[in-house]
Amino acid sequence: MRIAAAAWPIDWHDSWASYEDKLSRWVAEAAGQRADLLVFPEYGAMELASLAGPEAAADLERSLRAVADRVEAADALHARLAISYGVHILAASAPVWRGERPVNRARLFGPGGQVGCQDKQIMTRFERETWDVHPGGPLTLFETWLGKIGVLICYDSEFPLLARAMVAARAEILLVPSCTDALTGYWRVRVGAMARALEGQCVVVQAPAVGTAEWCPAVDENVGAAAIYGPPDLGFPPTGVLAEGALNAPGWVYGEADRDTIARVRAEGAVENAAHWPEQDARTASVVSVPFDAFTT
């Protein structure tokens, strides 16, 4: 399959037509490059807050509600584009109300009209302490004709047991839409994504928001580079990097992935991280703490 990872700039829109034109152009471009799976970033939908006007967009709570009000229309647009171009699209995540507070939700659209969603599991300090965005659930593995696909939204990629649960269910591709406001945050997610590819012997796709949007304090600064990773082993590059874009450069990054190659590295690779993972359980059941002075030559 051919995968397209977006480095997506957060733009201002004076009208719905402006947003529709932008998304349609991006999807058409990736489809024109024969992409089968298109991945957009975390909180990329926050640009829809601009449609409520500058005052609403500049207010954290009002911007959440403004975007949530537009999710249904955005989903309908994504669904039409996925069907029209015959592609799978992971839409940019958006706040969606679930009870009294919103969750951070990514939605996956298929070429046959399929729609699935994945909520972020573990919230960052900003989401917990300032924005009051709540974790959703549960973890979901999407069985598609491209393969078994899981989604780890940004910070979730830094927690190996989340990925492991999906790998244990035979996930082959993990999608990591991200939104980070500093180089340190980008590298935390990148290191997490690459580690998950190593541990799970699978393909991991990182798609970040990039650039500045001073009118929206939730996503005013965005740092990242789109990339596609695999395990540095049989059938994959020695670096594990299948494809990588330049830092903060808007646009698509394309890479090729093959289910047979994933299956082969799991079965015949120089290491068997995915299969050997359970061996940790017995060895980490207890830790022996011994005073170092007890050791002598």
Over residues 77-95, the pLDDT tens digits come to 999 999 999 999 999 999 9
Confidence of residue 294 (pLDDT cuts 50, 70, 90): confident
From start to end of the chain, where are the E strands? 2-9, 37-39, 88-90, 94-98, 101-109, 115-119, 141-144, 147-151, 173-178, 203-212, 221-222, 227-229, 241-244, 251-256
- Residue 156: closest CA among 121, 119, 194, 113: 121
Q: Is the pLDDT of residue 227 over 90?
A: yes
Domain boundaries in the chain? 2-294
Give burial (CB, 10 Å; 0-12/13-18/19+) of 173. buried
- Averaged over 118-138, what is the pLDDT? 97
For residue 252, what are the contacts with CB-CB under 8 A and spacing of at least 6? 4, 5, 6, 7, 26, 29, 30, 33, 35, 226
What is the rounded average pLDDT for all residues in the chain? 97
pLDDT of residue 137: 87
**CATH fold for the domain made of 2-294:** Nitrilase/N-carbamoyl-D-aminoacid amidohydrolase (3.60.110)
